[in-house]
Amino acid sequence: MSESYEFLFKFLVIGSAGAGKSCILHQFIENKFKQDSNHTIGVEFGSKVVNVGGKAVKLQIWDTAGQERFRSVTRSYYRGAAGALLVYDITSRETYNALTNWLTDARTLASPNIVIVLVGNKKDLEAEREVTFMEASRFAQENELMFLETSALTGENVEETFLKCARSILTKIESGELDPERMGSGIQYGDALRRMHRQEKLQPRTSRPDCAC
């Protein structure tokens, strides 16, 4: 279906295997919990148009495999991502401990302006919790990440996570901190905006014939 949107953001979902990345994406797109999800092979893809502050934004989301052997495949997708969900499993300290590695990868491979949200998933398994909210909050603060705890099972905070990330990017665009036209920003103008933009460019700045869009 042709959906019109103003912006297209490239998103990444990263984090250790089994953290629930695919389930989060599935919950976000299908509004269903993906029972018996398998390990992702390479990279999978999903997209959804969301409304952020009155603007239609298309999210192009790459769900990466967390397993070590796919690292080289998944790394190539970091480039040009505008936002990333860094997911760990609150019931597994191992996934939490791996966060630093993931973060380094993201910071070095993706664009420096990438907006990262730390996501503590499986909030529903409170009894098995191994990582406290406080601890993760501190980690997020230290690394200048936004932080949310979600449950792909109940759907709690799933949509919010994506919206929060998108909203933050949008704010940065509006404040000029992010330039959507810069290469590898992970942001594209949608159908409506692009046309508008083109006209805008054609009229006041006719001196620039090499407009690349």
Partner 1 sequence: MALKLKLKSFIGSKQESVQTPIEETVTDILTIGAAVTKNKVEIKPVNPHEEQEIIDGIEENYYDNESFDTSLHELQKLPEQLDADQITEDCLRLRNQLQAVSKRVSELILQNHLAYATELQQVMDLQRTLQAAGLVCQTGRKHLSHARKSFTVASLGLLSNYRKRQQLIGLLKSLRTIKTLQRTDLRLREMMEEEDYCGAIHLCQECQKAASTFKHYKCISELSSKLQDTLEMIEEQLDVALSKTCSHFDHQHYSKVQQAYRQLGKTQMAIDQLLMHFTSAIHNTAFTIILGYVELTSASSGAANFQKRQYDDLCKHITTETFTPCLVDLCKAMWEIMKSYFKTISWHALNDQDSCDGDSEIFHQRYVGTKLDHGRSRIWEDVQQRVKKFVLATDLSGFKFDEFIYILDIINRMIEVGEEFCASKSEGLQDTLKLQSLNYFKTHHQIRLDELRMFLENEAWEMCPVRSNFNILHLVEFRFMRKWANSRHMIPENELTTEDKCESLTTDQESKSYFSCYLEEGNPFDKQFEEEEKEDVFSALLETDGELLSDSDSDVAEDLKKDYIDEITGEAHSYKHKRRSSSRTILHKQTPLITNTTLNVLRVMGKYLQMISILKPIAFDVLSSLTQLFDYYLYTVFSFFAPDASSHNEQAVNPRLLNTLQRIRDNLLTNSSVMYVPNKKDPDASTDKVATAKMSSVVQLSDPKSLFGLAERVVATESLLFLAKQLDYLQPYLEELIPITKKTFLSQFYSQTVKMAVEVRVPVYGVVSGLSVSYESVLQQMSTVRWDVKEIMSQHNTYIDQLLKCFSDLRKKLEEVDKRVPLPKVVINLFWEQCVKNANRTFVEGFANAKKCSNGGRALMQLDFQQFLTKLDQIIELRPIPDKEFVEAYIKAYYLPESQLETWINDHKEYSSKQLLALVNSVDHLSRKSRQKLTNIIEETDKGRRL
Ligand X SMILES: Nc1nc2c(ncn2[C@@H]2O[C@H](COP(=O)(O)OP(=O)(O)OP(=O)(O)O)[C@@H](O)[C@H]2O)c(=O)[nH]1
Residue 32 sits in the site that holds ligand X (CB under 6 A) = no
Using the rule CB under 6 A, which residue among 22, 111, 157, 161 binds ligand X? 22
Residue 157 sits in the site that holds Mg ion (CB under 5 A) = no
- Residue 103 · residue 17 · CB < 8 Å: no
Using the rule CB under 8 A, which residue among 79, 182, 201, 205 binds partner 1? 79
Residue 53 sits in the site that holds partner 1 (CB under 8 A) = no
Q: 174-183 burial string, b = 16+ CB within 10 Å, else e?
A: eeeebebeee
153 binds, among Mg ion, partner 1, ligand X, none (CB under 5 to 8 A by kind): ligand X
- Residue 89 · residue 19 · CB < 8 Å: yes
- Residue 37 · residue 87 · CB < 8 Å: no
Smallest distance, ligand X to C-beta of residue 151, A: 4
- Contact letters for ligand X, residues 77-116 (x by CB under 6 A): ----------------------------------------
Q: Count of CB atoms within 10 A of residue 145's CB?
A: 20
3-state secondary structure of 88: strand
Residue 152 sits in the site that holds ligand X (CB under 6 A) = yes
Helix axes 158-174, 21-30, angle to 10 degrees: 80
Backbone angles phi, psi at 140, to 5 degrees: -60, -45
- Contact letters for ligand X, residues 153-192 (x by CB under 6 A): x---------------------------------------
Q: Any idea which residue has 């491979």 for tokens?
A: 109
Contact region with partner 1 (CB under 8 A), list: 64-72, 136-144, 154-162, 168-176: 64-72
Using the rule CB under 8 A, which residue among 9, 62, 88, 139 binds partner 1? 62
- Alpha carbon distance 53, 170 (integer Å): 9
Phi/psi region, residue 186 (left: phi>0; alpha: psi -120 to 50; beta: rest), is left
Q: Pick out residues in 14-33 that bind Mg ion (CB under 5 A).
A: 21-22
Q: Which parts of this chain interact with ligand X (CB under 6 A)?
A: 17-23, 37, 39-40, 65-67, 121-122, 124-125, 151-153
